[in-house]
Amino acid sequence: EVQLVQSGAEVKKPGESLKISCKGSGYRFTNYWIGWVRQMPGKGLEWMGIIYPGDSDTKYSPSFQGQVTISADKSITTAYLQWSSLKASDTAMYYCARRNEYAYFDFWGQGTLVTVSS
Amino acid sequence: SYELTQPRSVSVSPGQTARIPCSGDTLPKQYAYWYQQKPGQAPVVVIYKDSERPSGIPERFSGSSSGTTVTLTISGVQAEDEADYYCQSADSSDTSWVFGGGTKLTVL
């Protein structure tokens, strides 16, 4: 059974750093792209970027380039999304999702809620 | 950056047909995908590659493409179809993807 399990909710202060995770299981982790999607409170989905764990090839949305870093550790089948300096506007639910051979996200994590507040 | 445009809301009565358009400059060359999201849940794809339906998705969901506009059609809308719907596609270089702003489907 394919599963993506994300790390738990986080409450951080502006300026702090953060790294959230997404652990894949039930499939060959290195063979599928993993993407990250942001959903701010009451708002729509935003495509942030995607990584191919097999060779760490990474693509970012222009809106998120330089704002976050996407990485993966294939030895532990885990993808990451990290910030070096959080802002209040980073408050959102963040989903990871697997992109299948038809180029759509077929399996999703449960989401990680990140709250940034002073 | 690249954008996909959807109406904010669509309303239909049960049993009627709902049509949700999505427009974007690269849609003639890039496939579109449609996701359904219900409150508190992760999205689920209902249409891929413009008009293909994944297994498990009811036949009342269909997709079409014409020029710079793709359309999600839900025939015989049911109360359970009330949700937010997002189109998704890629930019011209296929290096970055984007979601449309989302359309809230209300079943009256």
- Which A residues in the span 22-81 are in contact with B, Cβ-Cβ below 8 Å? 35, 37, 44-47, 50, 59-63
Cα separation, A25 vs A77, in Å, equals 7
Cα separation, B43 vs B85, in Å, equals 9
How far does the CA of residue A40 sit from the closest CA of chain B (Å)? 12
Which chain B residue's Cα is nearest to A60?
B96
Count of A-B CB contacts under 8 Å: 58
What the block records as the tokens of A112 is: 């990680």
The secondary structure element, H or E, covering residue B2 is none
Instruction: For residue range A49-75, list pLDDT tens digits in order.
Output: 999 999 999 999 999 999 999 999 999
Assess whether pLDDT exceeds 80 at residue A38. yes
Positive or negative: CA dihedral A3, A72, A33, B104: positive
Which chain A residue's Cα is nearest to B31?
A103
Q: Does B41 contact A at CB distance below 8 Å?
A: no
Assess whether pLDDT exceeds 90 at residue B86. yes
- For residue A88, what pLDDT band results from cuts at 50, 70 and 90? very high
Q: Which among B1, B97, B101 has the least Cβ separation from residue A44?
A: B101
What percentage of chain A exceeds 70 in pLDDT?
100
Give which of A74, A106, A87, A93 is closest to A20, Cα–Cα.
Answer: A93
Contacts of B88 in chain A (CB under 8 A): 45, 47, 104
Instruction: For residue range B48-76, list pLDDT tens digits in order.
Output: 999 999 999 999 999 999 999 999 999 99
Instruction: For residue range B23-54, list pLDDT tens digits in order.
Output: 999 999 999 999 999 999 999 999 999 999 99
Which chain B residue's Cα is nearest to A112?
B42
Contact A103 B43 (CB under 8 A): no
Given phi > 0 = left and psi -120 to 50 = alpha, else beta, which region is B9? beta
Q: Does B51 contact A at CB distance below 8 Å?
A: no
Contact A106 B95 (CB under 8 A): no
> For position B47, what pLDDT does the model report?
98
Assess whether pLDDT exceeds 90 at residue B2. no
Q: What mean pLDDT value characterizes chain B?
A: 96
Q: Does B52 contact A at CB distance below 8 Å?
A: yes
> For position B92, what pLDDT does the model report?
86
Give which of A52, A53, A4 is closest to A25, Cα–Cα.
Answer: A4
| Mean predicted confidence (pLDDT) in A88-99 | 98
Assess whether pLDDT exceeds 80 at residue B1. no
Distance of CA B32 to the CA centre of its chain: 8
- For residue B83, what pLDDT band results from cuts at 50, 70 and 90? very high
Contact B97 A50 (CB under 8 A): yes
Assess whether pLDDT exceeds 80 at residue A44. yes
Cβ within 8 Å of residue B65, ≥6 positions away: B27, B32, B50, B51, B71
